Amino acid sequence: MPRSGSMMLSFPPFAGMIRKIILVTVAIFFLLLVLRWVAPGIAVDIFAVGALTPTMAMHGAIWQLVTYSFLSGGILQVAFDMLSLWFIGSYLETTYGTRWLTEIYFFSVIGAGLTTIVVSYTHIFHMSPNQTIYGALGGIFGLLAAWAVLMGDQKFLMFPLPISIRAKYLVMIFILIALASVFQGPSGFLSLASLGGALFGYIYIKVAPRRGYAFAATERVFSLRNGYYRWKRRRAARKFEVYMRKHDRDVKFDGQGRYIDPDGKKDPTDKRWMN
């Protein structure tokens, strides 16, 4: 993927894992919106169970490290988050694949949640473990960090403004805004999650295999399987050598279990020599 050149910010493909995340998030938003009218108590309970509250997570509600990213506080938040996720996520998913995108997104989401839990217990900036976070900014900032590292020199035309900006500088602006928001005290709790997501997205890019852990694990499984089959073939070849020697015939196989033609003329695929 080239690291330079210009690109217009236009609507990317709406497909893959990004589409699924957006549809689930929007569906949950409207479900809770309806429940607030017909059964407000249930809506409050669902939101409380799904959003990330450090004290609850530390007492067993570990699912909140993921579910909080599917909740939104209002129509403006869900619209901004989902549009950002659509533009950035689809671009990365098209380039690096669905499995890679899924890994780094949820790695950043969980990392953002862990960051807020740890920092909240320090009570720095008057933050408290009883505060709650929600929204997809942790995962989005993880993707932004990956975007800056992998395609930092890519230029984007900021329609409708007649200016272009490199990806790494645009991401840097977002991170500085989030950092400034953290210093506002308790109101910066959500921004802290954004910074945590950016940190874990950067860590993922630096330590994960090029095509992601899932692909690497799959390659390892297939390597073990193929190694097992090669071992079986070599064992069968040794047994066959012993069998043929008992019948006064000498045959040889190489270290991979392939037949070695003694005079170099016989076709290894020809089985007539066995009769």
Q: Is 131 a residue whose pLDDT tops 50?
A: yes
| Cα dist from 135 to 33, 189, 222, whole Å | 15, 12, 38
Q: Which residues of 3-22 are buried (b: 16+ CB within 10 A; e: fewer)?
A: eeeeeeeeebeeebbbeebb
> Confidence band (pLDDT; 50, 70, 90) for 261?
low
Please state the rounded mean pLDDT for residues 257-269: 61
Q: Which residue has the higher pLDDT, 195 or 187?
A: 195
Q: Which residues contact 46 (CB under 8 A, 6 or more apart)?
A: 32, 35
Task: Please tell me whether residue 269 adopts helix, strand or coil conformation.
Answer: coil
Query: Does the 6-208 domain belong in CATH 1.20.1540.10?
Result: yes
Q: What is the pLDDT of residue 257?
A: 65
The domain limits of the chain are 6-208, 217-274
- Could you tell me the CA-to-CA distances from 274 to 97, 240, 246, 256, 268 in Å, in that order? 49, 11, 13, 19, 11
pLDDT of res. 127:
84
Q: What's the pLDDT score for residue 141?
A: 95
Residue 263 pLDDT > 70, yes or no?
no
Give the pLDDT score at 29: 95
Which pLDDT score, from 0 to 100, does residue 220 have?
60
Which pLDDT belongs to residue 246?
A: 73
Tell me: the pLDDT tens digits for 77-103? 899 999 999 989 998 999 888 999 999
Give the pTM. Answer: 0.74
Section 187-201 average pLDDT: 89
